[in-house]
A and B are shown apart, each in its own frame.
Chain A
Amino acid sequence: MKIGVFICHCGENIGRTVDCARVSKAAGFFPGVVHSVDYKYMCSDPGQNLIKQAIKDFKLDGVVVGSCSPHMHEKTFRKAVADAGVNPFLCEIANLREHVSWVHEDIDVATDKAIDLIRFAVEKVKRNTPLTTIKVPVTKRTLVIGGGISGIQAALDVANAGYEVVLVEKEPSIGGHMSQLSETFPTLDCSQCILTPRMVEVYQHPKIKLLTYSEVEKVEGFIGNFKVTIRKKARYVDDTKCTGCGDCMQKCPIKKKALSEFDEQLTTRSAIYVPFPQAVPNIPVIDTSVCTYFKTGKCSMCKKVCGRDAIFFEQEDQMLTEEIGAIIMATGYKLYTIDKKPEDSEIKGYGEYGYGKYKDVIDGLQFERIASASGPTSGEFMRPSDGKTPKKIVFIQCVGSRDESKGFSYCSKICCMYTAKHAMLYKHKVHDGEAYVFYMDIRSGGKMYEEFVRRAIEEDGVKYIRGRVSRIYEEDGKYIVKGEDTLAGVPITIDADMVVLATAMVAQPDASKLAQTVGIPYDKYGYFVEVHPKLRPVESSSGGIFLAGACHSPRDIPDSVAMASAAAAKAMVLFGSDMLEREPTIALVNENLCAGCFYCKKVCAYNAIEIKQIKDKQGNLIKEVAFVNSGLCQGCGTCNATCPSKSIELIGYTDEQIYAEISALM
């Protein structure tokens, strides 16, 4: 084999800490290497041409590129190699940037390590075999998980392009957090007014299958060919009969026991309920944890009053399976909340703010409900404790955000803006009221965002105080807020009527579990992780699974919508061709060696191992051996490590190749 080695300086990125000339010189002496050069930018056009020309000039049939991570440019170089007539799988990448130059400082040490990594790659490529990619068909259907604004946008975009969508939402209605908001920054347009038409559009779209009150249970398969199991939870209401008249909810005797999720626990709801009047679909569900029928079997008032006979107490959870090509994750966020019961509260470190203890210390979403025309006070500002109009409100930002010791180290991004909006909305309705905002920094990056905050301060007279609040306590019906104005350097005491905490945005509590079910990575906060933070921000590392909205990181509505459309576009790119190309690095059985123990079959997570019968000419069974279904095999190699006779091998990562790499250490 004639191998060419190409060392990239990556401008200065590799060149600064790795002596590329020395690496290329050393590589030139490795057995099998006939040509070795270094160049400033190997991924550039001239760089690629250098490789192509060398393949022709030196009749190379193997290529090693020492460059950035294979996750960056493996495809680029494989394509260049293929253009020059060499099988792309005879090209190996040694990671000299992420694994060497960027993490080590000493030039000699880094150069030695780079030489070692090139030696590994040369030894491996010698044992590579020419491969052709596997083609598999694509199911042109998309699963969208989460029916908030991100999920709605993604579903509509994909469906409007003519592809079928299955939209799964775990709550009884789609709409998500956006449906709870009063007005949206920086334009102050009514959140529900702009959202509900979208919700209806989803409901009526012929290409969208809407599954509310449903959850994804299992995801099998791979890009273009997922099989998804969805649990449609029992509503105890027949959705084919129900007209959404609401008689059942009015007559339900349970009114006080259940706190409204939609109103953020500021009000109560009946046991049979729709979350809010504009819910889509407008079909109630029965909360079995409070319903008298389900507790004692005594009441069935809803069933009696239902003119359509739609109440169906015997209903059970249904399991549905869907064939899916692409998955868009849009599970959103929740606020770092404080429960009614302090012991359940997530905020352990903010006891000094009295959240949960004082009724008038609330969080951002609760304030949204109070400010909303559809909320418990019909948009009038009233204190939850006594219904009086608050004359002084204190807003505290960064509760849980940017606080490594008590909360999370990240910035929740939206709180600066929504707090300005809250203060503004309050001042618009309570003209003689005073609004104070305690802030750390104002982060108002975005179109017309800074102008919006200035407007709150300059036109509406919201008082911004730079500093943290140390303590809040109740005295004579007032909440005494003790803080510090760090710009003036003086302590401040405000006797507030109400306090609003801008608590951090956090991932859904079951996000990591869902990530495990779907098979995508997540970070320590539970947010889903993208493949590349700059260039592939909406793709997960699992092919065919895309990310949209706040399930990825804290983000506002415009960002979420943009990301959702991007994810939808990525799904549609997938549907652009009928067949998909897949890496051919799958397992292969040596039928002569295989003894038919089928341990491989037991450990295979994809059911890719089948039993093949070997027969003689007369049709007599000689033996049974393992056979790999190339459509199902994902190339993990667990079978290879398990096989006692080493008769099943993972192409591209054979024992021989790995031993060669290990031996190259010497």
Chain B
Amino acid sequence: MENIKTQDPKIIAFVCNWCTYTGADLAGTSRLKYQPNIRMIKLPCTGRIDPVFIIKAFEKGADGVLVSGCHPGDCHYNAGNFHARRRWMMFHKLLDYMGIDENRLHFSWVSASEGKKFVDVVNAFTNKVKTQGPFEKYAKINKEFVINE
């Protein structure tokens, strides 16, 4: 439980291996500091991100979800990030329907050379999620209606 004290809000990031993960590596190599709430899940490409991942993250207690990959046109796999962008365009319209505030989800492009941008994105998003407070709706539903697996 001590986890929750220091690491609130909880933010899950789905990032691609080639751009944002490497950009985050660069932030580290450059010893740039950022807020510690983020937990990154590395995927080969943002094209791999199924919108269900995002819902699952909220269900499992995330207060914010960050999605980040290569800039348009720079995808290591040619077009994966375009598919991600298209899914995002549809998905973010459904957020409201699902009872998730749009401010809890952020989509950004961070390239492998943008260590500083990564830091800025993480800090800005962490602050934004902080002002939203904890996301409890799904946890409540889980508690009330779902028998824990």
Contact = CB atoms under 8 A, between A and B. Distances in A.
A523 B113 contact: yes
Interface string B1-31: 0110011001010000011011011011101
A115 B74 CA distance: 33
A461 interface: no
B144 to A, nearest CB: 17
B32 A103 contact: yes
A633 B75 CA distance: 15
Interface string B40-59: 11111101111011001100
Interface of B: 2-3, 6-7, 10, 12, 18-19, 21-22, 24-25, 27-29, 31-34, 36, 39-45, 47-50, 52-53, 56-57, 60-62, 70, 73-74, 76-80, 83, 87, 111-114, 119
A102 B39 CA distance: 15
Given A69-B28, A116-B39, A663-B60, A638 B112 contact: no
B109 to A, nearest CB: 12
Contact of A636 (B39, B50, B80): B80
A572 B48 CA distance: 33
Given A112-B6, A521-B111, A541-B112, A638 B45 contact: yes
B57 A640 contact: no
B6 A636 contact: no
Contact of A637 (B44, B52, B62, B79): B44
Nearest to B111: A521
Interface of A: 69-71, 95, 97-99, 102-106, 108-110, 112-113, 115-117, 120, 515-516, 519, 521-524, 529, 541-542, 585, 603, 605-606, 634-638, 640-642, 650, 653, 655, 658-659, 661-663, 665-666
A641 B40 CA distance: 19
A521 B18 contact: yes
A666 B61 contact: yes
Nearest to A101: B28
Contact of A662 (B22, B41, B79): B41
A97 B31 CA distance: 10
A355 B48 CA distance: 51
B31 to A, nearest CB: 5
A105 B33 contact: yes
Given A71-B25, A529-B112, 4 more contacts: A103-B33, A112-B2, A522-B74, A524-B113
Nearest to A220: B78
A658 B81 CA distance: 19
A248 B41 CA distance: 64
B33 A104 contact: yes
A116 B13 CA distance: 13
A658 B36 contact: no
B28 A117 contact: no
12 contacts: A69-B25, A99-B24, A105-B33, A106-B6, A116-B39, A516-B74, A541-B112, A637-B80, A638-B83, A662-B12, A662-B60, A665-B39
Nearest to A659: B56
Contact of A104 (B29, B36, B49, B114): B36
B28 A658 contact: no
A418 B67 CA distance: 46
Contact of B79 (A69, A95, A605): A605
